[in-house]
Structure 1
Amino acid sequence: MYLTHRPIQPGDIPAICNFPQGADELFYMFPKATYPLTPVQLSDAIAQRSGSTVVVDKGTVLAFANFYKAEHGGVCALGNVVVAPAARGRGVARYLVTAMIDLARQQYAAREVWVSCFNHNTAGLLLYPQLGFIPFGIEERQAWDGTRVALVQMKQLLS
């Protein structure tokens, strides 16, 4: 794989909508969305957020993320993180999150990058600390099916 990243383009949206493989995965990526993810839901989220970025390999979109909060000189909060099913476990999420940290640094002069991860999202819970994120809080939330879940909040201080 030769991974690159770029700002999202309208033509990327239908492919990204197919990444979440069920209501649980969509909840991890985008808690306010209703499964299945539609181009309208994703486009509305992108319009309200900053830094929407895709990871690409040979023209194929493999991953997506953005910032739901982007304060110049302050905090950038990572959201809507998702990787194509066929690309999982191959370093794509690591590449994506690293690219987003760089974007927070370069475009927003951010002091911190935050990410939140639900307790059932094992891949995320294992990845983020490897990339330097430290847990700082846990909030109770309600999953799409009404069950109680824990949202683990993590941050990375940027130098």
Structure 2
Amino acid sequence: MYTFRQALEEDFTAIAALPQNEQEAYYMFPRGTWPLKPEELYRASLERELAIVMERQGELAGYCSMYDVAEGESAWLGNVIVSPAARASGASAELLGHMMKQGREAFRLKELHLVCHSTNARAMLFYRRMGFLPYEVGKTDDWQGNRIARVLMKRNLTE
């Protein structure tokens, strides 16, 4: 149903168009500016060990990256987003499942970490269903300068 591949520079125009508003863009790429700039996302992807595009029937269905990989130990997931057309169809679970598999197989990871913002309750509940557990809460500012919680979550990959 879905296929996965390394993102190419030419993919980032479509990836930058996935967030439907400034809030979604912030959740996907907090250090970015709205509207997201393809070249900014592409430059960030070059700092990542993995930058994965998910496609369905040749169309972009999602994007996710993996960074700060400590082989045999842990890594971080970032820039998680699914296209509006693929939402509520299991695409998010497919994308995260693929990234967890890549972490185990390519890097022998024991755990994956991610950051979720307190105002993104839908994502927080989704990550919990996928086995991620919160382990630290800190403060950050959202795209409008409002103080929100930055929730660090992790998932054991050895179970």
Q: How does 1:13-24 map to 2 (within 5 A)?
A: 13-24=12-23
TM-score with structure 2 length normalisation?
Answer: 0.95
Displacement of 1:68 in angstroms is 2.6
Identity %: 33
User: In the TM superposition, what whole-angstrom CA distance separates every residue of 1:19-67 from its partner, at most 9, and x where no partner exists?
Assistant: 0111111110010000011111111110111111111100001100001
Give me the whole-angstrom Cα distance separating, in 2, the residues matched to 1:158 and 1:18: 31
8 Å CA contact 2:113, 2:153 repeated in 1? yes
What RMSD over aligned residues (CA atoms) do the two structures have, in Å? 1.0
User: In the TM superposition, what whole-angstrom CA distance separates every residue of 1:93-127 from its partner, at most 9, and x where no partner exists?
Assistant: 11001100111111111111011111111221111
Runs (4+) off by over 4 Å: none
TM-score with structure 1 length normalisation?
Answer: 0.95
Give me the whole-angstrom Cα distance separating, in 2, the residues matched to 1:68 and 1:30: 13
Q: Are 2:148 and 1:143 aligned?
A: no
Q: Which residue of 1 aligns with 2:78?
A: 79
Give me the whole-angstrom Cα distance separating, in 2, the residues matched to 1:3 and 1:122: 26
Q: Which residue of 2 aligns with 1:105?
A: 104
Displacement of 1:133 in angstroms is 0.8
Displacement of 1:6 in angstroms is 1.4
Q: Which amino acid is 1:70 matched to?
A: V
Q: Are 2:64 and 1:65 aligned?
A: yes
Give me the whole-angstrom Cα distance separating, in 1, the residues matched to 2:52 and 2:113: 16
Give me the whole-angstrom Cα distance separating, in 1, the residues matched to 2:4 and 2:46: 19
8 Å CA contact 2:18, 2:82 repeated in 1? yes
Give me the whole-angstrom Cα distance separating, in 1, the residues matched to 2:154 and 2:92: 17
**Number of residue pairs matched?**
158
SS in 2 for 1:48: coil
Q: Which residue of 2 aligns with 1:3?
A: 2
SS in 1 for 2:46: helix
Give me the whole-angstrom Cα distance separating, in 1, the residues matched to 2:115 and 2:38: 23
Give me the whole-angstrom Cα distance separating, in 1, the residues matched to 2:68 and 2:119: 24
Q: Which residue of 2 aligns with 1:94?
A: 93
Q: Which amino acid is 1:17 matched to?
A: A
Q: Which amino acid is 2:126 matched to?
A: L
Give me the whole-angstrom Cα distance separating, in 2, the residues matched to 1:42 and 1:27: 12
Q: Are 2:46 and 1:53 aligned?
A: no
8 Å CA contact 2:12, 2:39 repeated in 1? no
Give me the whole-angstrom Cα distance separating, in 1, the residues matched to 2:28 and 2:155: 20
Displacement of 1:11 in angstroms is 2.4
SS in 2 for 1:151: strand
8 Å CA contact 2:54, 2:60 repeated in 1? yes
